[in-house]
Structure 1
Amino acid sequence: MAALINSCLQNKLSRLAALSLVGAVFLAGCSKPVEKTEDIRPVRAVKLAADNVEVLAEFSGDVRPRVESRLGFRVGGKIVSRQVDVGTTVRRGQLLMQLDPQDLQLAQAQANAGLKAAESNRDLAKAELKRYQDLREKNFVSQAVLDGKETAFKAAQASFEQAQAAYRNQTNQAGYTSLVSDVDGVVTGVDAEVGQVVGAGSPVVRVARAGEKEIVIGIPEDKVDALRRISDVRVRTWAKPNESFPGKLRELSPVADPATRTYAAKISIPNAKDDIKLGMTAYVAFAAKTEQPMIKLPLTALLQDKGATSVWLVENGMVKLVPVQIAGTAGNDILVGGGVAPGQTIVTAGVNLLKPGQKVKILGDDPARSDHRLAESAVAAQAANAGSAIGVAK
């Protein structure tokens, strides 16, 4: 009985092994071998050329008035009125602020009373002198008495002139309680409010004079001497980046700012349009041609490899990594000082996907052939994915 059972099990195992072998043969026959294609990666490249490159050094700043005055009262007192706000356009002679004039008006009245008293004394001394001159002509008084009357008159005249000057001074002081604008412009700041007691000369209002505007920027110390000699200065605003207009370096500070360690430069823009408002962000570019021809590369062509800046050089359809020396910048491009030569072809896109000795196809040389290569690569990838799927099914 045991022998019969063992014989049945062996027959079943033999049949299962045969079925598995047939299935494997069938699946092997259904899958097709994937054709291996040569890995040729499409890249973008540029042929190098040397030329006198226009170098741009650009700095950001803000638009400011050519002249900005900090106005204050000539006398101290309490502010009782403010007639302007920040941004108010003012005219010459327009009232800005008013002090309480009561004390100064009282002083003016006191000076006026003193002037009238001095005037009366002078008139009396003048009349006395006239009488004694008549008496002297008739020899009724001595010359000494007449000299005394002349001296009294001169003293009274001096007192009158002194009182007159004091009255004028107090009148001016009373007039100084009204702060008026001495130029046409716009109010850029208010430093005091109604009810505040201010001293004489303390700035309370800032007024920017209408007219020429300028841009204030900070220049690094290593570029001061070079930029000082450049006359081609271009200005554009953040609001209208595509519109530029000429500027002129008007002033360059001889002392660096203690906080930023940069030198303040003022760029005048005499032909600025009315839409350039005070406080706008502006960019100042100093443009100059290089003295010798230089090679210019886009930033995307550079590759950082082991601490060195390199580029991919295309030779005979293959690439190799070549280190280069950076000489500066020109806008968004890089100036190369060595490592490559004019006439060579450099990869400008896809630099991070290449390896030394890899074959490449430059896009743009033959678009139809390039598209065919890309299609073949896609078909090969799909075939490889299908083979992997079959292997998993097995």
Structure 2
Amino acid sequence: MFRHVLPVALPLAFILSLTACGNGEQAKPTARPAMVVQPVPAGDITEAYPGEVRARHEPELAFRIGGKVSKRLVEMGERVKKDQPLAELDPQDVRLQLEAIRAQVAAAEANLQTVRSEYTRYRTLLDRGLVSRSQFDNVENIYRAGEARMKQVRAEYDVARNQTGYAVLRAPQDGVISARRVEVGQVVAAGQTVFTIAADGDREVSISFPEHAIERFRIGEKVSVELWSQQGRRFSGHIRELAPAADPQSRTFAARVAFDDAKVPAELGQSARVYIQANGVVPLSVPLSALTAEGGKAYVWVVDPATSTLKRRPVRVGPYAEDRVPVLEGLAADEWVVAAGVQVLREGQEVRPVDRENRSVKLVAKE
């Protein structure tokens, strides 16, 4: 019988011995390390906005008369010189119109010669008393009408002659063709945009501001610009132009940033980033990695200095910067917040505060 009892008794005794060694108490979980930081003044924040290098002057070019495009002489991206032909219309109609006006000029000249001779003859007859004053006045009016008609057709001829030149679209200044909206064979109306030219000269950065922050920006405000091709190097500039109304599609306000130095090596179409100092806008800021949200409400994890436990703190934030976010309400300057791994934390969890070098941090408020 002891042979059957022994296999059961040994495991039971082993379990009882382990329980006696532990005194029936569970091991306390180890506090996990948490990287903590304190908020910094918002004056250390710069807001960044993406943009594109554009020419300061970008006139839209169009024919001054309508017609069918017979030649397109340049392509998009091609550099052009002042007065260089860009496109031509079929000149047949304007030439026919010019010939018609030329014929009217010849007819008006012949008529003017006739009425002038008649006027001279009646002037002589009037002086001799051979015609009445009313007859002379009638001839004089005909003569003056002939002169007026001559002036009219000559003006029409000048207009028609100019229109033959309008059939050729020329570049108004040196620059680069930045857009083309016409093809050979297309019929265009007078004033319809055919090309857009980026004129040589000053370069600017085109950006857009969100509508909730537009009241913070002013024309003339100082900014810095970083070109994608020259990362790490910033050029000073200022807001030169600010749209008075939001774009109906994007609901953003277009703006132009001008470089303070006209010799900045910025090329058309380059990507750029505009940095604007946020001095005096908000009191504090925290790293972007410290912020999380639930149900559309932002919050951070604040560490209690007395117990090293976590408390979830709702906050109201401003526009996000490149790597930080301004805190408008809900946080004090002497508090400590967790700056990494915030998605896996829970309320009341005990942590071991460390800095970015994994060194222990003594949680005391800044003096």
Report the TM-score, using the length of structure 2 for normalisation. 0.72
| 2:78 corresponds to | 88
Q: Tell me if structure 1 keeps the 8 A contact 2:36–2:354.
A: no
Structure 1 residues 348 and 112: CA distance shift in structure 2, 3 A: closer
**Once the 2 structures are TM-superposed, how far is the Cα of residue 262 of structure 1 from its aligned partner?**
2.4
Q: How many residue pairs align between the two structures?
A: 324
* Counterpart selection for 2:99 from 105, 109, 112: 109
Report the CA distance between 1:45 and its aligned residue: 5.8
- Counterpart residue identity of residue 309, structure 2: K
Alignment of 1:187-266 (within 5 A): 187-228=177-218, 231-266=221-256
Query: In the aligned structure 2, how far is the partner of 1:147 from the partner of 1:358?
Result: 114
Residue 76 of structure 1 aligns with an amino acid whose one-letter code is G
Task: Return the offset for 1:303.
Answer: 7.8
Question: What is the aligned counterpart of 1:320 among 305, 309, 316?
Answer: 309
* Bigger radius of gyration: 1
Residue 177 of structure 1 is aligned with which of 167, 180, 205? 167
Deviates more, 1:174-183 or 1:353-362: 353-362
Which of 262, 272, 277 does residue 267 from structure 2 map onto?
277
Structure 2 stretches lacking a partner, 5+ long: 1-28, 361-367
- How far the C-alpha of 1:163 sits from its partner, in A, is 2.0
On the 8 A contact 1:217/1:266 being kept in 2, the answer is yes
Write the deviation string for residues 130-183 of structure 1: whole angstroms up to 9, x where unpaired.
344344444455545443442332222222222212211211222211111223
Distance 2:220 2:62 in 1: 40
CA positional deviation for 1:50: 5.4
Partner residue of 2:323 out of 327, 332, 349: 332
Distance 1:61 1:82 in 2: 32
Residue by residue over 1:39-67, the C-alpha shift from the partner in whole angstroms, topping out at 9 and shown as x without a partner, is 79877665x47546333222223233333
Tell me if structure 2 keeps the 8 A contact 1:53–1:330: no
1:334-374 Cα offsets, whole Å, 9 max, x none, are: 456555653x77665677699955667775769xxxxxxxx
Q: Report how far residue 249 of structure 1 moved.
A: 2.5
Is the deviation greater in 301-310 or in 55-64? 301-310
Structure 2 vs 1, CA of residues 197 and 274 (structure 1 numbering), >3 Å: closer, same or farther?
farther
How far does residue 122 in structure 1 lie from its aligned partner after superposition?
Answer: 1.4
Any stretches of 5+ residues in structure 1 without a counterpart?
1-37, 367-394
Q: Which residue of 1 aligns with 2:57?
A: 67
Q: Contact 2:50 / 2:274 at 8 angstroms: preserved in 1? A: yes
Over the matched positions of the two proteins, sequence identity in percent amounts to: 33
Q: CA deviation at 1:119?
A: 1.2
Q: 1:299 to 1:255 in 2, by over 3 A?
A: closer
Distance in 1, Cα, partners of 2:88 & 2:255: 37
- CA gap 1:166/1:325 in 2 versus in 1, 3 angstroms: same
Distance 1:183 1:260 in 2: 33
Select between 321-330 and 148-157 the one with higher mean Cα deviation: 321-330
> 1:60 & 1:126 partners in 2: Cα distance?
74
* Residue range with higher mean Cα deviation, 281-290 or 329-338: 329-338
Give the structure-1-normalised TM-score.
Answer: 0.67
Q: Hey, what does 2:140 align to over in structure 1?
A: 150
**Which string of whole-angstrom CA distances, capped at 9 and with x for unpartnered residues, describes residues 34-92 of structure 1?**
xxxx979877665x475463332222232333332222222222222222111122233
Cα RMSD after superposing both structures = 3.8
Do the aligned partners of residues 75 and 357 (structure 1) sit closer, same or farther apart at CA in structure 2, a change above 3 Å counting? closer
Structure-1 separation of matches of 2:147 and 2:294 = 97
Residues 285 and 108 (structure 1 numbering): CA distance in 2 closer, same or farther, change over 3 Å? same
User: 1:278: Cα distance to partner?
Assistant: 2.4
Q: 1:222 to 1:349 in 2, by over 3 A?
A: closer
Q: What is the rounded CA distance, in whole Å, between the counterparts of 2:44 and 2:164 in structure 1?
A: 62
